[in-house]
Amino acid sequence: SRVSVVTGAASGIGRATKELLESRGERVIGVDIHDADVIVDLSTAEGRAGLADGVRRVDDGPVDAVLAIAGLAAAAPPTVAVNYFGTIATLEGLRPLLAGSPAPRAVLVSSMAALMPTDGELVGLLAAGDELAALARAGELAQDPATTGAQIYSSTKLALDKWVRRQAATEQWAGAGIPLNAVAPGIIATPMTADLIGTPEARHALLGLVPMPLNGIAEPIVVARLLAWLTSEENTHLCGQIVYVDGGSDVVLRGDSV
């Protein structure tokens, strides 16, 4: 059966994905800072460097899929470290383990938040791979009284989308037979959003900003099913796409601009 590595496996979308794959008889190696097979802190260089060895210690055979789901939504610098640099380190660090799989797959979790206002300077520093400068810029944004760091999260997700677009068709991914894609969820009911959707008034206010005309706020299993398909053997040709699973937020916000 297939073996997948799932980061963020202790909670929310990552946990739902792990449970879905396991319910289908597949094997999942969960990665997280707590309650996981491999405990690593993806915000640190040390944690990222230990990831592949940690996975190998649990299972030294080939890995069939890497699902980079771990993320933070705090309007603060650690969000840059986990969402952008942690995600890319996961995909690049584990890519060699995919080499032995007959059907290798990779996916990361972005967000419809990438459609919200972002900070061009931060997005540029992320694209340049300059973590120290990106953390410093996020620190500045967090102190900005006008935006209070709201653009940090959206900027990390936009930068991930751009990374997928730059990488997917290269030798390392498509050239190695690995479909690389992203999913962009709308509002999902997980611990990350619990405070934002805890009351009817809060839900109403949030859906004013992030409209979800098709079925509203979603459970994490909704995203898990898409992640499972994107990393299944069935996905042979979907490549470099940012797939919105957002109840229509993208359609409402971007209309017919494709």
Q: Which residues are annotated as catalytic? A: 153
Report the C-alpha gap between 54 and 56 in whole angstroms. Answer: 5
Does position 37 interact with ligand NAD (CB under 6 A)? The reply is: no
Query: Cβ neighbours of residue 24 under 8 Å, at least 6 residues apart?
Result: 228
Long-range CB pairs of 30-33, under 8 A, 24+ apart, other chains included:
30/6, 31/5, 31/6, 31/7, 31/55, 31/70, 31/90, 32/7, 32/8, 32/70
219 or 233: CB nearest ligand NAD: 219
* Contact in structure between 26 and 103 (CB atoms under 8 Å): no
Using the contact rule CB under 6 A, the part of the chain among 10-18, 92-100, 119-127, 232-240 near ligand NAD is 10-18
Helix (H), strand (E) counts: the chain: 10, 7
Does position 42 interact with ligand NAD (CB under 6 A)? The reply is: yes
Give the one residue of 52, 109, 135, 182 binding ligand NAD; rule: CB under 6 A.
109
Does position 212 interact with ligand NAD (CB under 6 A)? The reply is: no
Does position 174 interact with ligand NAD (CB under 6 A)? The reply is: no
Does position 38 interact with ligand NAD (CB under 6 A)? The reply is: no
Report the C-alpha gap between 136 and 127 in whole angstroms. Answer: 15
Q: Would you give the DSSP letter of residue 131?
A: H
For residue 226, which amino acid is it? L
Using the contact rule CB under 6 A, the part of the chain among 35-43, 93-101, 169-177, 224-232 near ligand NAD is 35-43
Does position 138 interact with ligand NAD (CB under 6 A)? The reply is: no
Report the C-alpha gap between 244 and 226 in whole angstroms. Answer: 10
Give the one residue of 4, 43, 151, 249 binding ligand NAD; rule: CB under 6 A.
43
Question: Could you give the string, one character per residue 50-89, with x where binding to ligand NAD holds by CB under 6 A and - elsewhere?
Answer: -------------------xxxxx--------x---x---
Which residues sit at the interface with ligand NAD, rule CB under 6 A? 8, 10-14, 32-33, 41-43, 69-73, 82, 86, 109, 111, 185, 187-188, 190-193
